[in-house]
Amino acid sequence: MIDYALAERLHGHLAVLALAVLLHPVITLRTRRAVTRGTKWTTDLAALLLSAPFVAGLLLYPSYRGEVKGGLLASAPAAAAAFETKEHLAVMAVALVIAGAVVVRAAGQTLEGRRAAWALLTAGWACGALTGALGIWVASKG
């Protein structure tokens, strides 16, 4: 039996931490003319930190469907729908942030590479932030 309260908190807190770390490259890729070592490290760290709760979410999802979703659909159908929206956006956020991290490492020395990385990471951050907001709202209903 999974302790959903604990798993949900770990999942959410890791994701929030990842989004906070991700703000560093999102800002510095726009404000600095070159990619610093710090930007590379925070981008890598953010990609890792965002991937961890995503994988945890994938592992929890089947149990959630079996043990929680039915009750949530009965008591708060809008929250159950928002949960699925959150999952869609999470897939996009992880794909964008991992790609952004690779672009920073592999092409951060070019202007085109920095702009591409910024676009990918910013879109990933926005998807992640929306995912987090939906997650908080769903948790408040669960």
Partner 1 sequence: MTRVAAAFAVGAVAVCVSYAAQRLGSAYGGEVDARMVLANEHIPYFYRAALALLHGVVVGVGAGLAIDDAAAVRVLGRVPALVLLVVVPAALLMVAVP
Which residues bind to partner 1, rule: CB under 8 A?
58, 61-62, 65-66, 69-70, 73, 80-82, 84-85, 87-89, 91-92, 95-96, 98-100, 102-103, 105-107, 110, 112-113, 115-116, 118-120, 123, 126-127, 130
- Minimum Å distance from CB 115 to partner 1? 5
The answer to whether 4 touches 66, Cβ cutoff 8 Å, is no
- Minimum Å distance from CB 18 to partner 1? 16
- Minimum Å distance from CB 112 to partner 1? 4
- Minimum Å distance from CB 118 to partner 1? 7
Residue closer to partner 1, measured from CB, 49 or 120 = 120
DSSP state of 33: S
DSSP state of 109: T
Residue closer to partner 1, measured from CB, 49 or 54 = 54
CA distance 108 to 35: 6
To which H or E segment does residue 27 belong? helix 4-31
DSSP state of 110: S
CA distance 26 to 103: 13
Residue closer to partner 1, measured from CB, 52 or 102 = 102
Place of tokens 């999802």: 61
